[in-house]
Amino acid sequence: MQQEQIFGSPPVIPDHQAILSRLARIEVALGITEDPQDREDEVDLLHGETPEEEIDTVPLHGVWTALAHLRVITRPPPDDGVWSRPAVQQLWSSFLKNLPLLHFLTDHSAFASPTPVLLASVLYISALHHQSTALASLDSGYFAAMYCAIAELVTPPLHPSSLQVLEQKDEEQNLFPQAKREKAFHDILGLIMASLSCEAYVGATGSWIAMAYRIWLDHCPIEMNPTTKDWRGLFSGLQVIDIEHASMHMSYPLLPRHAANPTIQQLDSHQGNAFQGLAEMMHFGMSHFVGRGLPSIWSSLNADEADILPTARSPFTESDLQIIRHWARKLDDWLVRYNGSSRESLGA
């Protein structure tokens, strides 16, 4: 009897219940009511109840490896839903499908095998923009993971966990120069994306950019090879976020006008020259106004109501006016010349 209760066939659904179910589906299709399954699906995502075979339909081995590492290093530990594989898969896929590609990337192949920094930054950005309330609520957990992954680039753990020890042994066996270079590329890309998502409210983004540039200098290929163009694009991406940071903080740009690597300099394409010209304009303008006590965009955005914004320590001069006018003309010329390139880049 007990065995029949456990393994017996389910009870027959009454006809009137079937009719009500069909009516409910019609109302959902017409938009009259909300499908309760949508809410259940969101809960399932956070608790990892999606069938495993659905997860494995997309090759995400690199994502799971990076996710396991993030789970070990993230402190304080966030909600368990942050590590839910269905939630991570949904956010990862949503990012690749819906968010525009960065101007210096030609396709999504750079995200094929993410490092912890790159994965955390992608998941954070995807959660910030996701329409699902349940998935969007995970953003703070991925923000903490991103912070910890960046910190690990600067200060590796003194007492690594067993997972980290295994990863280190794998790296010692498998990280040939090309693999190390790929890891560095992904770390830089992750730092760029972290800076883009946090530059308006995290003061440390300047240090993140400096770290990314240091990694770029250490790992950018000296000889010409199939990946050299990608590294040229990465330098362009760093230049743009560095200019944005300098403009926001009224400070000198960190990256030089031209890449230090002579091989990279040979690859200045039409589009590359566009961002090169923008960098030169910003270097010219910023160098004239930095250090004069002018209020910055950063101080305006992050000042409390009680704070008194600083006033300029030097008066506005005719020379300042001429510099601004020249700066504006150069920017107008740049926009006219490269507007087509920018549109093509955005549409790529």
Report pLDDT digits (tens) over 241-252.
999 998 888 888
Give the global pTM.
0.75
pLDDT in tens, 201-213: 898 999 999 999 9
DSSP 254: S
Instruction: Judge contact between 301 and 250, C-beta under 8 A.
Output: no
DSSP 310: P
Residues 6+ apart with CB under 8 A from 263: 221, 222, 223, 224, 228
Q: Which of 22-31, 112-121, 191-200 has the lowest mean pLDDT?
A: 22-31
DSSP assignment of 185-250 = HHHHHHHHHHHHHHTTT-TTHHHHHHHHHHHHHHHS-SS--TTHHHHHHHHHHHHHHHHHHHHHHT
Number of neighbouring beta carbons within 10 Å of residue 111: 18
Q: Tell me phi and psi for residue 220, to 5 degrees.
A: -65, 130
pLDDT in tens, 49-59: 444 434 344 46
Question: Does residue 116 have a cis peptide bond before it, meaning omega lies within 30 degrees of 0?
Answer: no
Residues 6+ apart with CB under 8 A from 159: none
Residues 6+ apart with CB under 8 A from 250: 286, 289, 290, 294, 295, 296, 297, 298
Q: Compute the CA torsion angle 324, 329, 333, 336 (nearest 10 deg).
A: 100
Exposed (0-12), middle (13-18) or buried (19+): which is 202, by Cβ within 10 Å?
A: middle
For residue 267, give Cα distances in angstroms to 45, 259, 263, 282: 45, 10, 7, 22
Residues 6+ apart with CB under 8 A from 277: 334, 338
Give dist(CA 197, CA 122) in Å, integer.
10
pLDDT in tens, 212-237: 999 999 999 888 888 888 898 899 89
Query: Residue 302: its pLDDT value, please?
Result: 74
